[in-house]
């Protein structure tokens, strides 16, 4: 593959996954009670455990986006 195609691929992956990250944060920040009620119907979970799980999910997703999308894009931009 050409360097330009890979750079464009990782650039769009960063934008799309960053958008999903922002969307999931906004949903949890603005509609946290609704999300909790929806998940507590399926799983017996306390509110504190739910907040911890959501916090870990968003933090893990942020690390994955930075590690697997933004870092390769920056590396390809530097060497290109």
Using alpha carbons only, give the angle 71, 12, 9 rounded to the nearest 5 degrees: 75
CB 76 within 8 A of CB 10: yes
Distance CA 35, CA 23 (A): 13
Question: Which among 58, 63, 60, 65 has a CA at the least distance from the CA of 10?
Answer: 65
Distance CA 72, CA 80 (A): 12
* Structural domain span for residue 11: 3-79
Answering whether pTM is above 0.85, one says yes
How do residues 60-77 score in pLDDT, each as one tens digit?
Answer: 999 999 999 999 999 999
Structural domains of the chain, count: 1
Average pLDDT by stretches of 10, the chain with 80 residues: 93 98 96 94 95 96 97 95
CB 2 within 8 A of CB 50: no
């Amino acid at each position: 593959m050409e360097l330009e195609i890979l750079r464009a691929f990782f650039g769009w992956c960063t934008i799309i996954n960053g958008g999903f990250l922002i969307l999931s944060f906004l949903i949890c920040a603005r509609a946290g009670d609704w999300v909790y009620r929806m998940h507590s119907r399926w799983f017996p979970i306390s509110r504190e455990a739910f907040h911890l799980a959501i916090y870990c999910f968003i933090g893990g997703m942020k690390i994955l986006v930075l590690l697997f999308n933004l870092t390769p894009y920056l590396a390809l931009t530097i060497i290109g």
